[in-house]
Chains A and B, each alone.
Chain A
Amino acid sequence: MVRSFALGVAVLTFLLSLALYFGFDSGTASPQFVEQRAWIGHGIQYHLGIDGISLFLVLLTTLLIPVALLASWNGIGERIKEFSFFMLLLETGLIGVFVSLNLFLFYVFWEAMLIPMYFIIGIWGGRRRIYATLKFVLFTMFGSLLMLVAILVLYAQYHRATGVYSFSVLDYYGLSLGAGTQTWLFLAFALAFAVKIPLFPLHTWLPDAHVEAPTPGSIILAAVLLKMGAYGFIRFALPLFPDATRRFLPYLSLLAAFGIIYGGIMALVQKDMKSLVAYSSISHMGLIMLAVFSLNFEALEGALYQMLNHGLSTGALFICVGLLYERSHTRQIKDFGGVGRQMPIFSALFLIVMLSSMGLPGLNGFVGEVLCFFGIFTSNKVLAVPAVATAVLSAAYLLLLFQKVMHGPIVHESVRAFKDVGKRELAVLVPVIVLMFWMGLFPGPFLRKMDASVARALALAKGKERVSLLPGAAGAKSPGVLGANGGKRETR
C-alpha cells in the first residue's frame, strides 16, 4: 500500500517533469520556468530555474526514482514506510540541487540530500553498512563544508563589490575576482565536487558505499549522485572562477585521466559484481570529467550526454546485479556460470545494458563517448589516449563479466532453479532499455536543447563573458552569448 503510493507519487512526478521537456525553449541559455521568492533576506531567496544543463539531470532523477522504487519491490522487505519516505525525500533533495539558482538554497539541498542517503545505506545496506554510510557522509561533508566557507567568502566579496547582498549564481557570474581569491575559492568548490564525482584520490568512499547500499540506493548513487559533482563543476566551479580554472585544469585533467585507467583496471580484478560496477563508474566518470575539463563545445556537450548515458546504463547494471542477487543471495562472480541458459531473456537484456555501457553504435553510450573523444582530441591529443582507453577497458571487464556469469558450466546447482525475469522486472528494465536505443538513434532533439546553455557555460568558464543575466544587473551585456557557438557545429 505504502509502496504503491510512493511509486504512484514518483511516477506522477516523472510525468509532471516531462512537461519541462516539452515546454523547454531550446533557443535561450537563460534559466526557464523560473520561480523566485523572497525568503530569509540577506540575499537568501527561493530561486529555482532550469536550463539545458539541468533539464536532463532533473528528468534523469525523476525517471530513475520510480525505476529504483520498482526495483526494490522484493529486495526491501522490511520497514517499507521509512524506505519510501527516504526515497522520496532523496528525490526532493536531488531535484533541488539541480534546479537551485541561489547558492544558499543549493547548499541546503546538497547537504539535506545526505540524510536520506545516510539512512538508506545505513538501515537497508549490507554487512558493513555502518562503516560505509559514515564514510560516505564524512567524505562528502568534508568537501562541502569547505565549499560553504567559499560560498560565504563569495557572498562577502559580492557585497563588497556591489553593495548588494546576493547568493544568486547569476549575479556571481558577473563578478570578477582577483586571481588569489579565485584560487582558494576554486579549490574549495572543486574539492566538494571532486569528492562527489569522485575524482581519483578521493574515490575511496564510492566502492564501499556502492557495495553496501541496497540495490535502489546503488542505482540512485551511481546514476544521479555522482552527476551532482560534475554538474557542480559545470554550473559553479568552472564558470565562477575562469582564471583559476585555466590554472588548475591541467592537474584536474590528469587526475581524471588517471581515474579512467585506475577505475578500469580495478574493475578488471573485482570478484564482487557490485564493486566491479562501482569501479567502472569511477572510470566512466573520469572520462566525463576529462571531457568537461577539455572546455570545448563538443566535449562539454558530450560530457553532459554521457552523464545521462552513464546514469541509465549504470543504473541498469545495478538493477541486473540486484536481480541476480535476489535469486542467489550472492554477488560473487565465481558463484555464477551458465545463468544464460536458465534466464535467456535476462541474458539478452543484460547484454544490451552492457553494450550501452561500452558504447556500442546504435546505443546511447556511443553518441556520448564519440562526442567526448572528439572534444578531448581537439583540446589535447595526449589525453585522448586514456579517454579512448575507457572504451577498451570497459569492453574488457564487462565482457569478461558476461562470459563468466552467463556462459560456461553451471557451478552451483542453485542456478538451475533460477526463474527468468518476471513482469515487474521487465517493467523496470524495458523502459530504460528503450530509452537507451532512443538516445542512441535520435540524439538530435536532446542535444539541441543543450546547445545554448552549454555554449554559455563554456563562454563563462573561458572568462569571455562576465555578464549577469538578471535584468538590470551591473556589467556590460553582450548580445552574442546565445547562439554564438551554436552555429559552429555541423548539422546532426
Chain B
Amino acid sequence: MNTLLASAPLAVIVGTVLLILLVDAFSKGRSGRFPAPIGAIALAASSVLGLRSWGKACSYFGGRLLLDDFSIVFLVLIAMTGVLIILIDLRYVPTHRMDTGAFHALLLLAVSGAVIMVSSLDLIVIFLGLEVLSITSYALAGLKREDPRSAEAAVKYFMTGSLAGAFLIFGLAFLYGAAGSLDVPAILAALRRSPPSWTALAGSGLFLAAFGFKIAVVPFHMWAPDVYEGAPTPVTAFFSVVPKAAGLAVLMRLLAPFWAGAGRPGQLRWLLGAAAALTMIVGNLAALRQRNIKRILAYSSIAHSGYALIAVISGDGPGLAFYLVVYAFMNIGAFSAVVALGHGEKERLDLDEFAGIGLRSPWIGAMLSVFLLSLAGFPPTGGFLAKFLVFGAAVRRGLSGLVIIAVLASLVSVYYYLRVIVVMYMRPSLEEADPEGDQPGVFLALFFCLYAVLQLGVAPGNILAFIKQAMNF
C-alpha cells in the first residue's frame, strides 16, 4: 500500500477545495451552480477511495496519519454528512445571499479537518485537524453576512473555540512535559504511573476540557445554543454532527487502550461519567424551556453528546459509531425539515409557526415527526436501537447507575420532542404561507435520512456488522 493511495481520500477533498476557490476567483465570484455538485462528488469519491483501503490499515506521511478501518468508518460518516449538507444548502445558500463558492470551499475544508482528526494517533496532528475544522467553522457560522445573529454566532464560536484551542495546546505542553513525547502510548504510560504525576493529570484534564468544548459537554456547552441559533441552518446541521463525531471518535480512540490496559483508570472514568450525567440532565432540562426549534435541537444535541459519552466511557467502539451514524441521519433529517419549511428568505423557527404543519405539509410533518421520535428514542427507529446498544454495553460493564440517569433524562426529552409534534398536529395553523415545494435537494436529503433512520432501526444488519469489523479493540 503506497502513500499515494492512502492519502487519496484526504487529498481529493483538499484538492477540490483549491479547485472551487480557484474557479470562484477566476469567475469573479460568479461560479454559480458549479461548486455544489463538485463538492458532493469529491466527498463521495473520497468515501469510495477510503473504502477501497478497507481492511488494509496503513500509515503515511511518516506515520503521522493513518488510514485504518476505524478512520474509514468515520471518514465515510463525515463525508456522507457533508453530502447531505450540500443537498440541503442547494437552495438555501443562494436565497440567503451567501457566497456559493466560499460556502462549499469552507465546508469541504471543515470536512477535511474532521477527517484529519479521526485519522491520526499523533496529538499534534489531531490538534492540527481540530484547528482546521474550528477556523473554517467560525467562518461558516458568520457566512450570512447581512444577518447580525450570524455574525454574533461567529464571534461567540470564535471566542470559545480559541479558548478551547488554548486549553488544548496548554494540555499538550503539560503532557509532553510528563511523558517526554506526544505519542499516545508514551502518554498513556505516563498516566498509568502510580502515583501519576500532577503534570500528566493536569495535561489530560485540559485536553479533555478542550474536547468538551468541541462536542458541547456540560459545563463547556454554553456556546452551543447561541451559535446553533445564529448560524445558517445547514451550517447548524453540520455543527451538530461533524465536530461532535470527530471529537468523540478521537476520545474513543485515545481512551480505549487506557480502559483496556492495567492501571487505575477509575478517576478518569468517574470524571467523564459525571460529565456525561450532567450533560444529559442539563441538556434535556434546558431544552424544555426553548421556543425556537434550532435552540431545541441545540440542547437536544448537547444531551445526545451525553448519551454518546456513555459509549466512550464503557469503551464500546461499535456502539459509539452506530450511535453517531444514527444520530447524523436523524439530526440532519430534523434540520432538513426545518430548511424545507422555510419560505423564501423567511425561516420558520419559532415553535408557534409550526402550528398545523402536519396538516398543510403532511410529508414534511410526518418525516419531522419520525426524526423527533427517533431522537426521543422510540422504537422502531434507529434512535431506539442506538440507545439500546449503547446502554446495553454500559450495563454489561457495570455502569447501571449512569444508564438509569440516562433513561430518566431521556424521559424528560420525550416531553419536548413530543411538544413539537403536538404543535404540528394538534393546533390549528396560524398563517397560510406554505413551504416551497420546489426543493429537490432538501427532499432527497429528507427521504434518504428517513430511509436510513428506519432501516437502521429495523434491519441494521450490514451496517452493524461493518462497524463491528472495524472496531475490534
Interface of A is mostly: helix
A123–B373 contact, CB under 8 A? no
Contact between chains at B460 and A40 (CB < 8 Å): yes
Q: Which of A107, A145, A152 contacts B379 (CB 8 A)?
A: A107
Nearest CB to that of A160 among chain B residues? B396
- List B residues 406-425 near A (Cβ within 8 Å): 407-408, 410-411, 414-415, 418-419, 422, 425
Q: List 15 A-B contacts (CB under 8 A).
A: A104-B388, A108-B379, A111-B379, A112-B380, A114-B378, A122-B422, A133-B422, A137-B418, A145-B408, A146-B407, A152-B388, A152-B391, A152-B392, A152-B403, A153-B400
| B22 interfacial contact with A, CB 8 Å | no
The 6 closest A-B pairs by CB, nearest first: A108-B379, A145-B407, A152-B395, A156-B396, A122-B426, A112-B379
Q: Known pairs A42-B392, A118-B418, A122-B422; list 20 more (Cβ under 8 Å).
A: A40-B459, A41-B461, A112-B380, A119-B425, A122-B425, A122-B426, A123-B426, A130-B422, A130-B426, A133-B422, A134-B419, A145-B411, A146-B407, A148-B407, A149-B391, A152-B396, A153-B395, A155-B392, A156-B392, A156-B396
B385 interfacial by beta-carbon distance below 8 Å: yes
Which of B378, B395, B396, B464 is close to A111, meaning CB atoms less than 8 Å apart?
Answer: B378
- Write the nearest CB–CB distance from A175 to chain B, whole angstroms: 16
Tell which of B359, B407, B414, B422 touches A149, judged by Cβ atoms closer than 8 Å: B407
Q: Is A327 an interface residue (CB 8 A)?
A: no
B residues near A73, Cβ cutoff 8 Å? none
Q: Nearest chain-A residue to B409 (Cβ)?
A: A145
Task: Return the chain B residue nearest A108 by Cβ.
Answer: B379
Interface SS of B by simple majority:
helix
User: How many CB-defined contacts (below 8 Å) exist between A and B?
Assistant: 78
Q: Once bound together, how far apart are the Cα atoms of A472 and B407, in whole Å?
A: 35
Residue ranges of B at the interface with A (Cβ–Cβ < 8 Å):
359, 373, 378-380, 384-385, 388, 391-392, 395-396, 400, 403-404, 407-408, 410-411, 414-415, 418-419, 422, 425-426, 459-461, 464
**Interfacial chain A residues near B378, Cβ < 8 Å:** 111-112, 114-115
Distance (Å) between the CB of B354 and the closest chain A CB? 14
Given the complex, which residues of B lie within 8 Å of A108, measured CB to CB?
379-380, 384
Q: Residues of B contacting A385 with CB < 8 Å?
A: none
Pair A115/B373 contact, Cβ less than 8 Å: yes
Number of A interface residues, CB 8 Å? 34
Query: Is A141 within 8 A of B426, CB to CB?
Result: no
Within 8 A of B (CB), among A138-157: 138, 141-142, 145-146, 148-149, 152-153, 155-156
Residues of A contacting B373 with CB < 8 Å?
115
Give every chain B residue within 8 A of A39 (Cβ-Cβ).
459
Whether A159 is near chain B, meaning CB under 8 Å from some CB there, is: yes
Residues of A within 8 A of B418 (CB): 118, 134, 137
Find chain B residues with CB under 8 A from A42 CB.
392
The interface residues of chain A lying within 8 Å CB-to-CB of B459 are 39-40
Whether A129 is near chain B, meaning CB under 8 Å from some CB there, is yes
Q: In whole angstroms, what is the CA distance A123 to B428 when docked?
A: 11
A444 and B408 CA atoms in complex are apart in Å by: 46
List, in ascending order, chain B residues with CB within 8 A of A130's CB: 422, 426
Residue interface mask A159-182, B partner, CB < 8 A = 1: 100000000000000000000000
Interface residues of A in 88-116 (CB under 8 A from B): 104, 107-109, 111-112, 114-115
Contacts of A118 in B (CB 8 A): 418
Q: Do B461 and A145 have beta carbons less than 8 Å apart?
A: no
Report whether B400 and A149 are in contact in the complex, using a CB–CB cutoff of 8 Å.
yes
User: A149, B395: Cβ atoms under 8 Å?
Assistant: yes
A148 to B404, CA, bound (A): 9
Chain B: minimal CB distance from A116 (Å)? 11
Which chain B residue shows the least CB distance to A159? B396
Closest chain A residue to B460, Cβ basis: A40
Judge whether A156 and B395 touch: CB under 8 Å. yes
CA distance A141 to B395 in the complex (A): 20
Question: In the assembled complex, which residues on chain B have CB atoms less than 8 Å from the CB atom of A107?
Answer: 379
A residues near B400, Cβ cutoff 8 Å: 149, 153
For residue B394, which residue of chain A has the nearest CB?
A: A152
Instruction: Judge whether B411 and A155 touch: CB under 8 Å.
Output: no
Most chain B CB inside 10 Å of its own CB: which residue of A40, A111, A122, A142? A40
Given A141-B411, A146-B407, are A134 and B422 neighbors across the interface (CB < 8 Å)?
yes
Chain A residues whose CB sits within 8 angstroms of the CB of B419 once the complex forms: 134
- B403 shortest CB reach to chain A, Å: 5
Most chain A beta-carbon contacts within 10 A, residue among B388, B392, B403: B392
Chain A 116-133 near chain B by CB (<8 Å), digits 1 or 0:
001100110000011001
User: For residue B398, which residue of chain A has the nearest CB?
Assistant: A156
Q: Which residue of A lies closest to B404 (CB)?
A: A149
Complex Cα distance, B411 from A108, in Å, reads 16
Q: What's the minimum C-beta distance from B300 to chain A, rounded to whole angstroms? A: 17
A61 CB to nearest B CB, Å: 19
Interface centre among A79, A122, A129, A148 (most CB of B within 10 A): A148
